Amino acid sequence: MKMNTFARPNCPECPNNYNRGEQVEWRVGYELTGQPGERNNKPGADGGDVLGWQVKSPKASMVENDNCDGYIFGFADADYFFEMNKTEFEEFLTQFSYIDRDSKTGKAKVRIKNDSSKMRKWLMARV
């Protein structure tokens, strides 16, 4: 696992109507490509959100068939994010996920737990 600090200057202001997960994707997109990561709701099976990376944050939902190179996990209020390979992210999920029901279909899905000091300490201990 690797922790990166947002370093690219002059990130455009994120739209006010973006949720916390979309805010993380906005900043990660800008950091990695120079273009903010706009809201896309692209299915995980279609590839990563930004340059092959699937971008996740607290309360994000997961799909069974993510077709990505790895995961980026971040917090909307933080100036850093974590890069994880699939094995590292699976370990993270064993500690910080739960089964929820999709609001539209009622089907079970995995969701990342909400932000907590325990989660942040766990991540920081592995970089």
Query: What integer pLDDT is reported at residue 5 of this predicted model?
Result: 98
Alpha-helical segments (H) within 1-127:
20-33, 86-95, 117-124
Mean pLDDT, the chain, integer: 93
Name the pTM for this structure.
0.92
pLDDT of residue 55: 94
Which residues have CB under 8 Å from 76's CB, separation 6+? 20, 21, 23, 24, 57
pLDDT at 45 over 80: no
pLDDT digits (tens, 9 = 90+) for 51-110: 999 999 999 999 877 889 999 999 999 999 999 999 999 999 999 999 999 888 889 999
